[in-house]
Structure 1
Amino acid sequence: MATPTIESPRSGRVAPGYSRSSTSRGNFEMIAWLFMRLSGALLVVLIFTHLWVNLISGDGISGVDFGFVAGKWASTLWRIWDLTMLWLAMLHGTNGIRVIINDYAEKSSTRMWLKGVLYTATAVIVVLGTLVIFTFDPCPVIDGVASTASYCPAV
């Protein structure tokens, strides 16, 4: 009986034709590769600390509410911590998706549109997330009445 042969993956697929100019793109891909390694290691520390503080050292998931976030974000440290997590996670994920688009989108126009959508979505999420972190007011004055929550300073 003959041994069956298994074709290599994507053997019938045409490799995407990258249109590179004669000028070198520099070290962008090497810097992007290095960024992925460094940001991934830093994100592991940031995320596990975030999870520990929010879920394990406190009252668990039932303790995470508006008051918990307001009390936490009263500290500049936690605002910067969460902002760093947001920015690193978005840039890390965007870079990973960019590599996937480069690998699997066969037409240059498809790559251009997919990356355009990716970069637009990333910019919108980063801008909105940054605005939420820096404009969050845990003690709003609504109709002339100040909040009386325990984390709000006396007015």
Structure 2
Amino acid sequence: MAETTTEKPVISSPRDPYKRRKTTRGNYELYSWVFMRASGVLLIVLIFGHLFVNLMVGDGVHAIDFAFVGGKWSSPFWQVWDLLMLWLAMLHGTNGVRTVINDYAERDAVRMTLKVLLYLAAVITVVLGTLVIFTFTPCPTGEPADLLPAFCSA
């Protein structure tokens, strides 16, 4: 009697052609995931605090001008608040876009180029934003007194 074996055909996974080589990243993706959750919660607090102070306190959106920003940034508290908001938003957004690039860029060269451009844009934005927050002068010299904030001496 002849023995017949019927093996089931092996169907490869739809993602097989796009599998990347294994790397030894450790727990980087886990930490990235945890950072996204923690920074998202903190950003909600920072952004809603920012919106409340800028839009609800005082005259609302009509009061936002150079003097308003100068008054806020003359306080170290608001400088740190806005700096945290800038840094967390940029890191959070950069990490999210990095994930999208890793998911959709199929070729290694394209993926690397996109991530280098992303990191470059994030660093430039964070550095320029930080410089603006800490070098902002609310009382510029030589300006007419009616254009200066009330706390500036003419």
CA deviations over 1:54-102 (Å, ceiling 9, x no partner) = 0012211111110000001111000000000000000000000000000
Asked if 1:18 corresponds to 2:20, the answer is yes
1-structure distance, mates of 2:110, 2:117: 11
Partner of 1:108: 108
Partner of 1:7: none
Deviation of 1:148 (Å): 5.2
1-structure distance, mates of 2:78, 2:21: 44
2-structure distance, mates of 1:94, 1:33: 13
Deviation of 1:12 (Å): 7.5
Q: 1:148 to 1:91 in 2, by over 3 A?
A: closer
| TM-score of the two chains, using structure 2 as the length reference | 0.84
Cα RMSD (Å): 2.1
Partner of 2:137: 137
Deviation of 1:149 (Å): 3.5
Where 1:116 maps in the other structure, the secondary structure is helix
1-structure distance, mates of 2:109, 2:149: 54
Q: Which amino acid aligns with 1:104?
A: Y
| TM-score of the two chains, using structure 1 as the length reference | 0.83
**Larger fraction in helix:** 2
* Contact kept in structure 2, 1:43 and 1:85, CA below 8 Å: yes
Runs of 4+ residues over 2 Å off in structure 1: 11-17, 145-149
Partner of 2:46: 46
Asked if 1:73 corresponds to 2:57, the answer is no
* Contact kept in structure 1, 2:71 and 2:149, CA below 8 Å: no
Q: Which amino acid aligns with 2:25?
A: R
Q: Which amino acid aligns with 1:40?
A: G
* Contact kept in structure 1, 2:54 and 2:64, CA below 8 Å: yes
Deviation of 1:107 (Å): 0.4
2-structure distance, mates of 1:27, 1:34: 11
2-structure distance, mates of 1:73, 1:137: 9
2-structure distance, mates of 1:126, 1:16: 33
Where 1:141 maps in the other structure, the secondary structure is coil
Where 1:142 maps in the other structure, the secondary structure is coil
* Contact kept in structure 2, 1:46 and 1:81, CA below 8 Å: yes
* Contact kept in structure 1, 2:86 and 2:126, CA below 8 Å: yes
Deviation of 1:15 (Å): 5.2
Q: What is the percent sequence identity of the aligned residues?
A: 57
* Contact kept in structure 2, 1:98 and 1:115, CA below 8 Å: yes
2-structure distance, mates of 1:67, 1:15: 58
Q: 1:137 to 1:15 in 2, by over 3 A?
A: farther
Q: How many correspondences in the alignment?
A: 141
